[in-house]
Amino acid sequence: MQLFTERGFESTTVAEIAERAGLTERTFFRHFTDKREVLFAGSASLVELLAEHVAGAPDAATPIDAVSGALQAAGAVIQQRGDWSRRRQAVIVANSELQERELIKLASLASTLAEALRRRGVDDPGASLTAEAGIVAFKVAYERWVQQPTKRNLPRLIQESLDQLRAITAGG
């Protein structure tokens, strides 16, 4: 991350990353398929976390409440890596290829949420709409959190974004 910040993503080579980490390039490629994966490596565990939290939501939870709980759990994990997450976002914002990859990741998270809702018995388009709306609220909250000069609570920002969405859609 330090190299990406210092030199820019495109100017940083895998050889430089491996050297800075005290690894060989071969070892690097055992862990990552390419240098983009350094920024997106936790996506699979995030997918699992979201699916588990939706599945584990109380039976009485509405679809948006199940999604909200899952996204707040994800926010808590992301918040633990606060400075890294903020630097990661700055690298992504500076590179259109990485922005596209981030959008693909968010679409994957929405698909995971929608599938988890379907397993709870939520029909489409309700499952897809709820999942996509949740991801939009998450994205807005995440951007607010990254841009805050003082550290704010990401799960709380996610909840605030979802509350605002509920108020807007309820006509409030």
17 and 94 inside one domain: no
19 and 61 inside one domain: no
User: Does pTM top 0.85 for this prediction?
Assistant: yes
Per-residue pLDDT averaged across 25-41, rounded?
90
22 and 65 inside one domain: no
19 and 57 inside one domain: no
- The total of structural domains in the chain comes to 2
134 and 53 inside one domain: yes
Span 117-168, pLDDT tens digits: 999 999 999 999 999 999 999 999 999 999 886 768 999 999 999 999 999 9
Question: Could you tell me the two tokens for 160?
Answer: 């605030």
Query: Could you tell me the residue range of the domain that residue 17 belongs to?
Result: 1-39
Span 63-99, pLDDT tens digits: 999 999 999 999 999 998 888 888 999 999 999 999 9
78 and 131 inside one domain: yes
* Interatomic CA distance for residues 150 and 18, integer angstroms: 33
